């Protein structure tokens, strides 16, 4: 039996919002489990200009100065097939892509 | 009346400066891509409204932008720069082998005849080409896989391919330069490459006259004489009269021959410009005086150009891609500084004024002469 599609809310950092010409938060549809990889796949599919900006084109690894947060947890080091917390899958909490603090 | 459009890449965005042929009153547009590093932007010689820009960020990586209206509006195009085939290794700072890793685009060079064809020089050093307006990029891997590639090493600023010169008389020939590998030439449209560093002497490498390993900062060419090239190396200013087969030093009476930029007057192929920088340890002008030096004899004899430039307490740098010339009847010369100035001389260097002086650090300056 196929899994239902999920509408996942994703918050993007300022520079990616301006690049994609969207507001602070976007909603993407994910088919199947709302894993980190599936959510980023959906973001990149809907906003192709973001390909290569959140994760590397070739390796699909998260770019070093970005972090993934959800439900007050740092999920940055979880694997791509990590299933996001239920409130994210249900759309009550956003998945956060955050630019790390650096520089001065 | 003719006019000019100056394209300025900075640490915090791009700016477009426009003026009529008098080049006295300027309109400043920007910042475009505010907050991003714009390493370089340049217009197509075949269609002045077609511009390409390299937009980079330590957080978000590489984005390429294209404009079809002279910089009024922009659209992101392809940003996938994948090395073709086995990546291989180059030398790391400690001498160990290090895999090639794409970091950013340093320089974009639109083709002379087709607005949709554009080259990109990248770090780690490689040359890419797009024939569809920047949507897709293919590596010309003959350069990176040249037999010497494993010996190339980054300079302090990275191992970037920063200079791309297209021969207007021979579509099969182009020149490129890499810090710090040296200069290379292709005679078969990028399929194979030859190091052209004979005559360069660099005391900071084990063999000062090695085939590769020289920190070439910039090469310039006058389009009417594509076999003659001028080079600002880490130290030394040089020229070749035979397409790079042999170089000779022309530093002459320069107060210091360290520097980054070099360019050629639009109508006088033997008139060249450099901005001497004190040393590789102190990247600012001698004595706090910002001086362009001009040679009207193809090198050796140089004169300081100071009128309108800061002559005290000036401790800026002028980076390798931050000088350009226009092609108006009275050749305009432009350069930008790490202090946020963009200076213009509408009379070939005799007098200067600041178009702007409070931009973010300037990484690149290009100019388009408009009808």
- Quick: pLDDT tens for B290-307: 999 999 999 999 999 999
Q: Are the C-beta atoms of residues A8 and A93 closer than 8 Å to each other?
A: no
Residue A103: pLDDT band with limits 50, 70, 90: low
pLDDT of residue B61 exceeding 60: yes
Rounded Cα distance, B293 and B271, in Å: 10
Residue B11: pLDDT band with limits 50, 70, 90: very high
pLDDT at residue B300 in the model: 95
CATH number at residue B17: 2.130.10.10
pLDDT of residue B66 exceeding 60: yes
User: Which residue on chain B is closest to A64 by alpha carbon?
Assistant: B59
- What is the edge-to-edge ordering of all strands in the sheet holding A95-99? A25-31, A5-11, A95-99, A66-70, A73-74
Q: Are the C-beta atoms of residues B15 and B32 closer than 8 Å to each other?
A: yes
Q: Are the C-beta atoms of residues A95 and A68 closer than 8 Å to each other?
A: yes
User: What are chain A's domains?
Assistant: 5-93 (3.10.20.30)
Q: Are the C-beta atoms of residues A26 and A33 closer than 8 Å to each other?
A: no
- Quick: pLDDT tens for B150-165: 999 998 889 999 999 9
Q: What value does the mean pLDDT of chain B take?
A: 96
Q: Which of B34, B35, B63 sits opposite A53 (nearest CB)?
A: B63
pLDDT of residue B51 exceeding 60: yes
What mean pLDDT comes out for the span B311-317? 98
pTM of the model: 0.96
Is B80 close to A51, i.e. CB distance below 8 A? yes
pLDDT of residue B143 exceeding 70: yes
pLDDT of residue B126 exceeding 60: yes
Contacts with B82 from chain A: Cβ below 8 Å: 57-58
- What is the extent of the structural domain holding B227? 3-370
Q: How far is CA B41 from CA A82, B86, B113, B368, in A?
A: 40, 30, 18, 11
pLDDT at residue B206 in the model: 87
- Number of Cβ within 10 Å of residue B96's Cβ equals 8
User: Which residue on chain A is closest to B57 by alpha carbon?
Assistant: A53
Rounded Cα distance, A75 and B345, in Å: 54
pLDDT of residue B18 exceeding 90: yes
Q: Minimal Cα–Cα distance from B41 to chain A, Å?
A: 17
User: A71-83 as b/e, with b when 16 or more CB fall inside 10 Å?
Assistant: eeeebeebeeeee
Q: Minimal Cα–Cα distance from A21 to chain B, Å?
A: 11
Q: Which of A20, A21, A52 to mutate to test the interface with B (most CBs of B within 10 A)?
A: A52
- Quick: pLDDT tens for A36-83: 999 999 999 999 999 999 999 989 999 999 999 999 999 999 999 999
C-alpha closest to that of B216 among B180, B256, B175:
B180
Q: Are the C-beta atoms of residues B357 and B308 closer than 8 Å to each other?
A: no
Q: What is the bridge-based pairing of β-strands B104-110 and B138-139?
A: unpaired
- Quick: pLDDT tens for B21-39: 999 999 999 999 999 999 9
pLDDT at residue A1 in the model: 56
Rounded Cα distance, B123 and B105, in Å: 6
Top-confidence residue, B29 or A104: B29
pLDDT at residue B1 in the model: 53
pLDDT of residue B252 exceeding 80: yes
pLDDT of residue A3 exceeding 80: no
pLDDT at residue B371 in the model: 87
Asked if A102 has any chain B CB less than 8 Å from its own CB, the reply is yes
Q: How far is CA B200 from CA B83, B179, B247, B278, in A?
A: 29, 14, 6, 20
Q: Which of B36, B37, B60, B66 to mutate to test the interface with A (most CBs of A within 10 A)?
A: B60
pLDDT at residue A4 in the model: 77
Asked if B82 has any chain A CB less than 8 Å from its own CB, the reply is yes
Q: Minimal Cα–Cα distance from B35 to chain A, Å?
A: 8
Question: What number of CA atoms fall less than 13 Å from residue B242's CA on the CB side?
Answer: 8
**HEC sequence for chain A:** CCCCEEEEEEECCHHHHHHHCCCCEEEEEEECCCEHHHHHHHHHHHCHHHCCCCECCCCCCECCCEEEEECCEECCCCCCCCECCHHHHCCCCCEEEEECCCCC
Q: What value does the mean pLDDT of chain A take?
A: 94
- Quick: pLDDT tens for B176-214: 999 989 999 999 999 999 999 999 999 888 899 999 999
pLDDT of residue A18 exceeding 80: yes
The DSSP secondary-structure symbol of B149 reads G
CA quadruple B292, B296, B300, B302: dihedral, nearest 10: -30
Rounded Cα distance, B229 and B167, in Å: 11
CA B77, distance to chain mean position in Å, is 22
pLDDT of residue B322 exceeding 60: yes
The DSSP secondary-structure symbol of B13 reads E
The DSSP secondary-structure symbol of B346 reads T
What mean pLDDT comes out for the span B318-327? 98
Asked if A98 has any chain B CB less than 8 Å from its own CB, the reply is no
Is A16 close to B61, i.e. CB distance below 8 A? no
Split into its structural domains, chain B has a count of: 1
- Number of Cβ within 10 Å of residue B1's Cβ equals 7
Alpha helices in B99-219 (DSSP H): none
Q: Are the C-beta atoms of residues B300 and B278 closer than 8 Å to each other?
A: no
pLDDT of residue A2 exceeding 80: no
Asked if B19 has any chain A CB less than 8 Å from its own CB, the reply is no
User: Which residue on chain B is closest to A100 by alpha carbon?
Assistant: B59
């Amino acid at each position: 039996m196929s899994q239902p599609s999920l509408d996942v809310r994703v918050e993007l950092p300022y520079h990616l919002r301006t690049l994609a010409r969207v507001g602070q938060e976007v909603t993407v549809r994910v088919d199947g489990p709302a894993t980190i990889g599936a959510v980023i796949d959906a973001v990149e599919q809907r906003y192709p200009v973001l390909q290569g900006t959140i994760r590397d084109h070739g390796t699909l690894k998260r770019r070093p100065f970005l972090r993934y947060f959800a439900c007050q947890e740092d999920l940055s080091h979880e694997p791509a097939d990590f299933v996001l917390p239920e409130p994210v899958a249900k759309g009550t909490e956003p998945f956060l892509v955050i630019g790390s603090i650096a520089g001065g | 009346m003719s006019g000019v459009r100056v394209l300025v890449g900075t640490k915090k965005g791009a700016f477009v400066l426009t003026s009529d042929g008098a080049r006295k009153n300027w309109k400043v547009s920007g910042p475009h891509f505010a907050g991003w590093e714009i390493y370089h932007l340049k217009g197509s010689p075949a269609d002045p409204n077609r511009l390409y820009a390299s937009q980079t960020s330590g957080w978000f990586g590489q984005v390429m932008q294209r404009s079809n209206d002279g910089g009024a509006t922009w659209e992101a195009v392809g940003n996938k720069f994948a090395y073709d085939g086995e990546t291989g290794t180059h030398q790391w700072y400690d001498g160990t082998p290090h895999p090639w890793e794409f970091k950013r685009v340093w320089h974009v060079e639109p083709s002379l005849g087709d607005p949709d064809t554009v080259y990109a020089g990248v770090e780690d050093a490689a040359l890419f080409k797009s024939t569809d307006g920047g949507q897709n990029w293919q590596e010309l891997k003959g350069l990176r896989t040249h037999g010497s590639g494993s010996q190339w090493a980054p300079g302090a600023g990275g191992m970037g391919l920063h200079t791309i010169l297209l021969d207007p008389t021979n579509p099969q020939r182009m020149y490129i330069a890499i810090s710090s590998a040296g200069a290379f030439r292709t005679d078969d449209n990028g399929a194979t490459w030859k190091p052209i560093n004979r005559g360069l002497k660099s005391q900071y490498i084990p063999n000062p006259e090695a085939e590769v390993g020289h920190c070439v900062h910039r090469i310039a060419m006058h389009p009417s004489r594509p076999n003659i090239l001028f080079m600002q190396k880490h130290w030394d200013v040089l020229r070749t009269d035979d397409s790079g087969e042999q170089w000779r030093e022309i530093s002459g009476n320069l107060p210091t021959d360290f520097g980054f930029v070099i360019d050629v007057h639009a109508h006088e192929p033997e008139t060249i410009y450099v901005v001497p920088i004190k040393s590789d340890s102190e990247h600012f002008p001698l004595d706090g005086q910002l001086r362009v030096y001009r040679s009207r004899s193809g090198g050796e004899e140089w004169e300081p150009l100071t009128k309108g430039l800061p002559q005290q307490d000036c401790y800026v740098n002028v980076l390798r891609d931050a000088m350009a010339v226009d092609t108006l009847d009275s050749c305009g010369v432009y350069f930008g500084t790490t202090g946020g100035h963009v200076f213009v001389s509408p009379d070939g260097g005799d007098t200067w004024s600041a178009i702007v002086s409070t931009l973010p650090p300037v990484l690149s300056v290009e100019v388009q002469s408009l009808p």
